[in-house]
Chains A and B, each alone.
Chain A
Amino acid sequence: MSELLPFLITGLVTGSLYGLAGIGIVLTYRTSGVFNFGHGAIAAAAAFVFYTLHDTHHVPWPLAALITLGLFSTVVGFLLERLTRSLADAPEAVVVVATTGLLLGIEGLLYLIYGDLIRNFPAFLPSSGFTVDNVNVSWAEVISVALASTGTAVLFVFLRVTNLGVAMRAVVDNPTLTSLSGARPFRIRAAAWSIGSGFAALSGILLAPTLGLDPNLLTLLVVQAFGACAIGLFTSLPMTYAGGLLVGVVASVATKYLTTPPFSGIPPTVPYLFLIVILLVVPASRLPQRRASIRSLIPEVPPMRKARAWTLGGASAVILLFIPVLVGPRLPVWTSGLTYSVILGSLALLVWVSGQISLCHMAFAAVGATTMAHLDHHLPWGLALLLAGVVAAPVGVLVAIPSARMSGIYLALLTLGFGILMQNVIFPTFLMFGTTLQVKATRPRFWFIDGSDRWFYYVTLLVAALTYWVLAALYRGQLGRLLRAMSETPTMLTTHGLSVSTTRLLVFSISAFLAGIGGALLVTQSGVVAGEAFGPIQSLILLAVLAICGTRLLRSPILAAILLAVAPAYVTRFGVDQQTFGFGLFAVVAALVIAKRSQVQEWLAMAATSSASRQGRGPVINNVRARPSVPPTGANPAVSQ
């Protein structure tokens, strides 16, 4: 027992902070309908603000903590409420884009301001302590647990005693009924976001001394917290706190026993394992389902006229064929643009057409890349490329199965967790990148194709063209029709005989297949590729950039590939952190625009009419002349209405 004690104590300390973060997430999720993937990023931002105040400006720590908490529970809470207000009934995918955009934006900003040097966070709490059974317990640890549990207890009492608290519980229970009975939803949501941000800030400040001031690590704190949320079934606040403790203790004790790689990567993924088990075991009806508006995210556009389609297609084909001549030494950039267009196309099929979310698409690409590398020299290049996709497809199904019965947010959580699990546990194994964390593959050489940059560009172009042909055929065919109907009326399709979950899994596997092929192209192009290129943050960036370029199946991923892979080679002013920040920021804006698309269109139309009618002002005589007294024959009735 005494050898376990230090692990138990560490686990309880971190666990209570995970619980604290989890409570913030559950409270805001249930009152506003928005699951905040940026919660960890907010915690990270708070830790940096505290650091700046305390360490740089030498503000005493209690004051610095108070200022930080005050700032986050008022200003940041208010901003988040404003931001998420328009997302309350938006489709799941849009909410995920907005909050992961927030995550990227904040993380990018922190790297921009503070650089990517991991700083030591000052141990501001007293490090002296006492001994229990030969184990040192510092006052810092005691204070952390005390603050977290006091925060939880105060919130618990607040929700039970005060009017606002009772109203908040009512909103969690039944939002529609609560607003009907005269409670003010705005006040309730604002209070929830204020408390949520405060809790995020507190957990960030208290966790930073242990984790170090690393924006990435703190940002992905949300993953630790969602293990806690899952144990509380995304509903119960006390159970979430208890869940945080459980996750913390199990993860900490696991570090004692799982010390050799790749098993040493398991402890940080403990919350994810809890999440999977809970989603598999708990019936769907026990978990909160969002009342998302049901509509397809692909905008309704009339099909292009044939002549125009041919002209456009022909022109793009000619340009693409002549790219090697036109761009000179920047050709590899364009090849990688084509590669990313394959991965982004697979993501667009999944997110925009089927309404499912993947926050681990780069992990599927990684499966493809490593399969390609393993098969290199053993099989013909084309066959290896195909197999790279074939291996990635079942991996996709495996990830999506636990959430097939449920609404999209749980799929988003699962995929984010899976991406991290892959990076921590599977990437370093012989199955994927191995201990060197990189793999190699050679370019195709056959007939007159000699493996030069130019010929590889044409090979990639062919694969990309085939991919887009497949995407278009799927969308126009049976599956596309079923998917479009599924985004609006899944119940109807079920009662007419369609096994909706199976079709969802089918799309997931097709998407993973294409992503795998994209990954295989990625490794063949550069010859060697590191596991880092397929991390969870890369997957989030992929989704953010896709959303920025709209919700069309073919056009958006192509534009996104240009923005992601080609543009940075031409506009070299923006570094990686600036790109992350920009992509995050614009993804938030894009999500808001998509969520309010009809309003935005109306607003634009109104702006257009008002500027048109302004031309009709001025001397009355002009107006009379402009308006014929007898309507011209054959006037379009639609216009006159």
Chain B
Amino acid sequence: MTASAHGSAVEGQATGGRGLRADQVRVTYGGHVAVDDVSLAAPLGQVTGLIGPNGAGKTTLFNACSGLLQPASGSVNLFGVDVTSKSTAVRARMGLGRTFQRVEVCNAMSLRTNVALGIEAREVGGKPWRQVFGNRELRRRVDEATQTALEACGITDLAERSTATLSTGQRRLLELARVLAGGFQLLLLDEPSSGLDEEETDSFGAVIQGAVDELGIGVLLVEHDMPLVMQLCRYLYVLDFGRLIFAGTPTEVQASQTVRDAYLGCGSDKGQP
């Protein structure tokens, strides 16, 4: 794993066809290049971090991976299949789940119904007739997955609460439970701990770690909370101004002068786990 100051020359880890890989992805908004030929990989069975200052292009890259944005060039590969031209919904049904920087929840429903939507959308998303004619077997699977996800995230006691009354931290947990209920093999988590207090952050980290260890899923994590990042991630990519400036293990990242200059700050001990 070499580290270089030149974006496209940064090499990342390998997925061996079992995970998410972005190759030379370039996204432009009009004339502005938001993501500039970035390649990264998020294999299964571990948490991979994507860090960088605000406006570095992290969410844009996420949107390109999940298909909400079409890259100007480059390709996205999911579990060994080129999905660049596939729609967001198809990628999701293949097993790519995500959460949002600004929490996307349905306020008109209870927390449990919201969580259930995660698996419902995935199960019936491509089968219009199932949306009209559900069956008992499907209902049972939905209820089971929902209950398991609620328990994993420790929010069973909030299940019947109206979502409109939940705090930001509880909404973040809802999003995590929803994406876990969906049974996705690869999760893109966009700043999941922002708005959470220290205690909530700790339990959040434990849930993610637990899911990775027990279910063998892969996680690509965008996060500003450096202690959490250093604790969870086995490998890190650092973005700045849309370019990949460094890739390596947490220790290597903390030692890198390039990363300190661009993001962590000179002499800052913010990055210490």
Contact = CB atoms under 8 A, between A and B. Distances in A.
A478 B131 contact: yes
Contacts of B128: 502-503, 506
A497 B182 contact: yes
Interface in B83-130: 87-90, 92-93, 97-98, 100, 104-109, 113-114, 116-118, 120-126, 128, 130
B131 A503 contact: yes
A491 interface: yes
Contacts of A481: 109, 113, 116-117, 120
Interface residues of B, number: 37
B172 interface: no
B68 interface: yes
B101 to A, nearest CB: 12
Contact of B92 (A484, A489, A497, A510): A497
Contact of B108 (A474, A488, A491, A495): A488
A499 B131 contact: no
Contacts of A503: 128, 131
Given A484-B109, A492-B104, A479 B120 contact: no
A499 B125 contact: yes
B178 A484 contact: no
Contacts of B90: 499
Q: Is the interface of A mostly helix, strand, loop or mixed?
A: helix
A491 B125 contact: no
Given A478-B131, A495-B98, A499-B126, A485 B109 contact: yes
A316 to B, nearest CB: 26
A420 B89 CA distance: 35
A372 B221 CA distance: 58
Contacts of B93: 497
Nearest to A489: B104
Contact of A478 (B66, B122, B130): B130
Contacts of B106: 484-485, 488-489, 492
Interface string A463-501: 000000000001001110110110011011111111110
Nearest to B93: A497
Query: Which of B106, B108, B122 counts the most A-chain CB atoms under 10 A from its CB?
Result: B106
B132 A474 contact: yes
Contact of A493 (B98, B116, B121, B134): B121
Contacts of B68: 491, 494-495
A492 B89 CA distance: 10
Interface in B148-183: 178-179, 182
A484 B90 CA distance: 21
B132 A495 contact: no
B89 A295 contact: no
B108 A484 contact: yes
Contacts of B120: 478, 481-482
A489 B114 CA distance: 11
A296 interface: yes
B89 A498 contact: yes
A267 to B, nearest CB: 38
A300 interface: yes
A307 to B, nearest CB: 22
Contacts of B124: 478, 482, 498
Contacts of B131: 478-479, 482, 503, 506
A377 B122 CA distance: 46
A506 B126 CA distance: 12
A483 to B, nearest CB: 9
A488 B107 contact: yes
A499 to B, nearest CB: 4
A479 to B, nearest CB: 5
B122 A496 contact: yes
Contacts of A491: 68, 100, 104
B92 A478 contact: no
Contacts of A492: 100, 104-106, 117
A295 B122 CA distance: 22
A476 to B, nearest CB: 11
Contacts of B130: 478
Nearest to B162: A300
Contact of A497 (B107, B108, B113, B126): B126
B125 A497 contact: yes
Contact of A494 (B89, B116, B132, B134): B89
A496 B182 contact: yes
A572 B98 CA distance: 59
Given A489-B105, A496-B121, 8 more contacts: A481-B117, A484-B109, A489-B104, A495-B97, A495-B98, A496-B92, A496-B179, A506-B132
7 contacts: A481-B109, A488-B106, A492-B117, A496-B118, A497-B92, A497-B123, A497-B182
Interface of B: 66, 68, 87-90, 92-93, 97-98, 100, 104-109, 113-114, 116-118, 120-126, 128, 130-132, 134, 178-179, 182
- Nearest 7 pairs between A and B by C-beta? A497-B125, A497-B122, A496-B121, A497-B92, A492-B104, A498-B125, A498-B121
